[in-house]
Amino acid sequence: MVKIDVRDAIGGFFLIILGTSVSLYSMKYGIGQLQNMGAGYFPFILGIMLAILGAFVFLPALFREGTPIEIDYRNMVSVLLSIIVFAVLLDYFGLVLTTIITTLISTIPGNLSWKRKIFLGGSIAFITTIIFVLALGMTIPVWPWSK
């Protein structure tokens, strides 16, 4: 296997990049002096600190062996995609339909039967309509035709 600690190496590297970018970008807000700090002073210092800390994480990781990374791509894509779908569809399709469609996506990793997925989506839609729209009185469109 690879002879470096991949997690800390990637993490540390990313910290260095993030820190330097933040510092560079914050210069455009004006640094000012210690006794009269500009808007960019605090983020500038923080960015430098982050880059230094990133180096402290990155460099030792190159000489140390670590465990391999396991990413659950299916879970990740299903969950994140379902949030985006929910956001896009809510205003058009209303709460009930959007919930059902979203649940169909988020249950992909769960390997449930289609019937179960639709039933789950329907029950969640029912419960949330009762709690959020009826009991708490939130203005969320429930059906495609309700505005």
Partner 1 sequence: MQVFDSLMVGLASATQLPILMYCLLGVFLGTFVGVLPGIGPLAAISLLLPITYHMEPTAAIVLLAGIYYGSEYGGSTASILLNLPGTAANAITCLDGHPMAKQGRAGVALFMTTIASLVGGVVGVLMLIFFAPSIVQLGLEFGPSEYFALLLLGVVGASMLVSGSPAKGLAMVVIGLILGTVGIDPSSGVPRFDFGFAALLDGISLLVVAMGLFGIAEIIKNISAERDKVSEKITLRSMTPTKNDFQDSSMPMVRGACVGSFLGALPGTGAAIASFAAYAVEKKCAKDPSKFGKGAIQGLTAPEAANNAACQAAFIPTLTLGIPGSATMAVMIGALILHGIQPGPLLMINEPSLFWGLVVSFFIGNIFLVVLNIPLIGIWVSTLNISSKLLYPAILIFIMIGLYSVKNSTFDLYMVTIIGFCGYAMVILRFEAAPLLLGFVLGPMMEENLRRALLLSRGDLSTFVDGPISAGLISLSGAIVIWSIVRFLRNSFTKGAKKFSYMT
At residue 109's C-alpha, the angle toward residues 107 and 111, to 5°, is: 80
How many residues bind to partner 1 according to rule CB under 8 A? 69
Restricted to residues 62-81, the positions that interact with partner 1 (CB under 8 A) are 69-72, 74-76, 78-80
Site string for partner 1, 9-48 (x = CB under 8 A): -xx---x--xx--x--xx--xx--xxxxxxxx-xx--xx-
Helix (H, G, I), strand (E, B) or coil at 62: coil
Residue 94 binds partner 1 (CB under 8 A): no
Report the relative pairing of strands 32-33 and 36-37 from DSSP bridges. Answer: antiparallel
- For 3, the 3-state DSSP assignment is coil
In 3D space, the residue among 38, 49, 64, 45 whose CA is nearest the CA of residue 16 turns out to be 49
110 DSSP 8-state letter: G
φ and ψ at residue 107, rounded to 5 degrees: -95, 5
d(Cα 19, Cα 92) in Å, to the nearest integer? 40
Q: CB-wise, 41 or 145, nearer to partner 1?
A: 41
List 63, 115, 136, 145, residue binding partner 1 (CB under 8 A): 136
- Please report, as ranges, the residues that interact with partner 1 according to CB under 8 A: 7-8, 10-11, 15, 18-19, 22, 25-26, 29-30, 33-40, 42-43, 46-47, 49-50, 53-54, 56-57, 69-72, 74-76, 78-80, 82-84, 86-88, 90-91, 95, 99, 102-103, 106-107, 109-112, 120-121, 124, 127-128, 132, 136-140
